[in-house]
Amino acid sequence: MHFLVTGHNGFKGSWLVTLLKQRGHTISGMSLEPTLESIFVLGGLSDLLEHDFVCDIRNLSEMERLFAVINPDVVIHLAAQPLVRESYRNPILTFETNVVGTLNVLKASQGLKSLKAQLIITTDKVYKNKNINRGYTEEDELGGNDPYSASKAMADIGTQSWLTSFSNTPTAIARAGNVIGGGDYSVDRLIPDLVRNYVSRTPPILRYPDSVRPWQHVLDCLNGYLLLVDALLHGGGHGVWNFGSEPECVMSVSEVAELFGTHWEESSEWVSDKGSNFPEAAILLLDSKRSRATLGWKDKLTMHDSLKWTALWYKNVSLGAGVYDEMMKDVRNFERLP
């Protein structure tokens, strides 16, 4: 099966490429230029690809041309401006990328002759956040206060509108929460920030230590996506699906920081950021009963395992282990889990 992954050289995309390769698929990718410190570059993942195209998803004509060249069996759309704080700094870019870019993917895929299934990835932040202490279900109201959340909600609604208005290949929408794993070097994300603090021997500074999120290992999330793709290929899987973690993986930012510190064998002490920060939701949970019951999806890794695997990945790479070797080791170990 030939997969086209947009955003393939980002953190989640790089792990998806590695997982798909382990499962024997052909992969092509389309993204902006990767950063030099990304795991995609450091791991030499371009060698795994049939096509590795640089393209801005806001450019519809170029998207249509490259989609036709690739002619995939499956499209998984990951490309996005994914950071809340960056969305405050560059709101227009965020809306253009996340909303128009998603619609461009849907439009470009219409001309594909071999396409059998398509998966659009949004986020748990598409839900209108009422700071309620229960998981949002797929039927809950969408919304968004910050530009990132609003743009992803618009992309989600736009996708649903597109699918009901036009003829398309079997398509689903997946919404997931915060993922962790080795090789995330982004700014303004908890685990990469903690790693940088530990390496530089400085105390972690937490912006919103009491904020609660559903955390999960990136491979658990991606395994859910691929189960959904398989359902689409076999005549099911239509609609919207949540992929949130088990209740024991729902933790505050400070709890995750402290637990990660123990796995890094560092002090679990941290400092609260007293500066002025952009607002973010205090609590955000997902109800994923539908995915678990219908697709048979589950988290293979506990929160402790996820943080242990992640800490060990960064430590091994810092000691000279190969990035790709460490990725493949985690993928193979994950695939062996029941």
Residue 326 CA to its chain's centroid (Å): 19
- pLDDT value of position 275: 63
Show Cβ contacts of residue 149 under 8 Å, excluding neighbours closer than 6 positions: 84, 123, 125, 126, 129, 143, 281
For residue 295, give both structure tokens.
């697709």
Among 15, 16, 56, CA closest to 39: 15
Alpha-carbon gap, residue 18 to 139, rounded angstroms: 33
3-state secondary structure (DSSP) of residue 2: strand
Among 188, 153, 146, 174, CA closest to 280: 146
For residue 73, give both structure tokens.
């069996």
What is the distance between the terminal CA atoms of the chain, rounded to a whole angstrom? 24
Cβ–Cβ under 8 Å, residues 125 and 149: yes
3-state secondary structure (DSSP) of residue 70: helix
Show Cβ contacts of residue 103 under 8 Å, excluding neighbours closer than 6 positions: 155, 158, 159, 162
Domains and CATH numbers, the chain: 2-336 (3.40.50.720)
For residue 159, give both structure tokens.
């996708």
* pLDDT, tens digit only, all 338 positions of the chain: 999 999 999 999 999 999 999 999 999 999 999 998 899 999 999 999 999 999 999 999 999 999 999 999 999 999 999 988 899 999 999 999 999 999 999 999 998 989 999 999 999 999 998 888 889 999 999 999 999 999 999 999 999 999 999 989 999 999 998 899 999 988 878 899 999 988 888 888 888 888 888 889 999 999 999 999 999 999 999 999 999 988 877 888 889 888 888 888 777 678 887 665 666 666 788 999 999 999 999 999 999 999 999 999 999 999 999 999 999 999 999 999 99
Cβ–Cβ under 8 Å, residues 295 and 224: yes
Cβ–Cβ under 8 Å, residues 307 and 257: no
